[in-house]
Amino acid sequence: MTDARTPPLTDPVQAADKLIVQEVAPRDGLQIEPTWVETADKIALINGLSEAGFTRIEAGSFVSPKAIPALRDGEAVFAQIERRAGVIYVALVPNLKGAERALAAKADELNLVMSASQTHNRANMRMSCESSLAAFGDIVRHVKDTGVRLNATVATAFGCPFEGVIDEDRVVGIVDTYREMGIKGITLADTTGMANPRQVARLVKRVLQRVPPSALTLHFHNTRGLGLANVLAAYEAGARRFDAALGGLGGCPFAPGASGNICTEDLVNLCNEMGIPTGIDLVKLLALSRALPELLGHDVPGQVAKAGRNSDLHPVPDYVLHI
Ligand code: COA
Ligand code: ZN
């Protein structure tokens, strides 16, 4: 029986509960893979992800091919993927040259990256934070009036593998700087899985006083097993957008000990079990994830692809039927 007072599924309160997953396996996931993944296979992966219901996919990066040889075919990938309506295809860029390449490749959004830690920024981007910010200024001026969206990431926002603890005031200050530059989207990234749920809740609450939930993304790595706990802490604190990688792939080649992003299908499974809407088809995701070991030549960390969903039941053993 339908209760007339039951809100419809499109009720704004329920929509506000939606957790947006940005799939980053084609970028964060593949950038660290030692074996070359053919351009056609990258395109097939991105097309498969588009079909699974994502609205945001980080499809590659336009960085130095010497720094990240695994993604040197960004132009070909962006040129040949099927652009599904409603999907934003994001490209990571470090400098103006990267932004020019990404615009030429018709990326919908550019993700600029700088670390809160000077040391990690020098290791990753081979420049100081000041030089990165100067490059971002050039990019903002360059993309102005193109209609292309801008997001900027604070990498190592929850800890640095070289410097350790990162001052939360510094992270908030960088967020303010990005916003003052006219960059709307903000990502807080836990590059090497050093965040804990209480720290996450604290920082998310502070940043949400400056940035609306629709413009804030959390990027967690599961390096110390805290990835999904951090997602829940951030969600409870009001965050609604999260990066995740199919199979739990991923990692920064310039951060010692880096390991995979939180695993997309494990996150979507968590959301399904808890009744948090994501709009993503878990069955399609699991099929894509189960193809990864053959594509990459190694096992991947995701757990639900191995265990199956809660509802994937097993036949009852014969001996049980006779007890
Ligand atoms: N795309 C393609 N080539 C680029 C480029 C870009 N965005 N930026 C620089 N290059 C090229 C230059 O043209 C130059 O080429 P050459 O040697 O053939 O003349 C070479 O790279 C070095 O350029 P330079 O400006 O001196 O760069 P650098 O060596 O100081 O490195 C970065 C700076 C930012 C380009 C490099 O560190 C980088 O790409 N880092 C990204 C790392 C990354 O993706 N990490 C993971 C994601 S967070
Ligand atoms: Zn990452």
If you average pLDDT over residues 215-226, what whole number do you get?
98
Q: Is the pLDDT of residue 13 over 80?
A: no
Q: Which tens digits make up the pLDDT trace of 194-204?
A: 999 999 999 99
Q: Which tens digits make up the pLDDT trace of 80-113?
A: 999 999 999 999 999 999 999 999 999 999 999 9
Could you give the percent of the chain with pLDDT greater than 70?
A: 96
Q: Is the pLDDT of residue 191 over 60?
A: yes
Q: What is the CA angle 113-45-88, rounded to 5?
A: 50
* Cβ atoms within 10 Å of 60's Cβ, excluding its own: 30
- Please, what are the domains in the chain? 18-321 (3.20.20.70)
If you average pLDDT over residues 177-187, what whole number do you get?
98
Does this model's pTM top 0.85? yes
Q: Which pLDDT score, from 0 to 100, does residue 303 have?
A: 98
From the candidates 129, 160, 252, 271, give the one annotated as an active-site residue.
252
Q: Is the pLDDT of residue 224 over 60?
A: yes
State CA 137 to chain mean position distance: 24
Q: Minimum mean pLDDT among 5-9, 48-52, 141-145, 215-219: which range? A: 5-9
Of the pLDDT bands very low, low, confident and very high (cuts 50, 70, 90), residue 15 is: confident
Ligand 1: atom nearest CA of 113 is 48
109: closest CA among 139, 80, 70?
139
> Whose CA is closest to atom 40 on ligand 1?
125
Whole-number Å distance, alpha carbon 64 to ligand 1 midpoint, is 3
DSSP helix/strand/coil, 186: strand
What residues contact residue 34 under an 8 Å CB cut-off, 6+ apart? none
Q: Which pLDDT score, from 0 to 100, does residue 16 have?
A: 87
Whole-number Å distance, alpha carbon 28 to ligand 2 midpoint, is 6
> Which ligand lies nearest to the CA atom of residue 131 in the structure?
1
> Which ligand lies nearest to the CA atom of residue 123 in the structure?
1
Distance CA 249, CA 140 (A): 30
Whole-number Å distance, alpha carbon 105 to ligand 1 midpoint, is 18
Regarding predicted confidence, which is higher, 11 or 272? 272
Q: Is the pLDDT of residue 7 over 50?
A: no
Ligand 1: atom nearest CA of 125 is 37
State the burial class of residue 68 (Cβ atoms within 10 Å of its Cβ: 0-12, 13-18, 19+): buried
> Whose CA is closest to atom 15 on ligand 1?
64
> Whose CA is closest to atom 3 on ligand 1?
64
Residue 271 known to be catalytic = no
If you average pLDDT over residues 63-68, what whole number do you get?
98
> Whose CA is closest to atom 17 on ligand 1?
66
Q: Which pLDDT score, from 0 to 100, does residue 14 have?
A: 57
If you average pLDDT over residues 62-90, what whole number do you get?
98
Distance CA 80, CA 43 (A): 7
Regarding predicted confidence, which is higher, 8 or 140? 140
Q: Is the pLDDT of residue 41 over 60?
A: yes
- Strand 185-190 and strand 241-244: pairing? unpaired
Ligand 1: atom nearest CA of 153 is 48
Q: Minimum mean pLDDT among 3-17, 258-272, 293-307: which range? A: 3-17
| Ligand 1 site residues, Cβ closer than 6 angstroms | 31, 61-68, 92, 94-95, 97-98, 101, 113, 124-126, 252, 254
Q: Which tens digits make up the pLDDT trace of 134-181?
A: 999 999 999 999 999 999 999 999 999 999 999 999 999 999 999 999
Q: Which pLDDT score, from 0 to 100, does residue 227 have?
A: 98
Distance CA 192, CA 77 (A): 27
Distance CA 223, CA 257 (A): 8
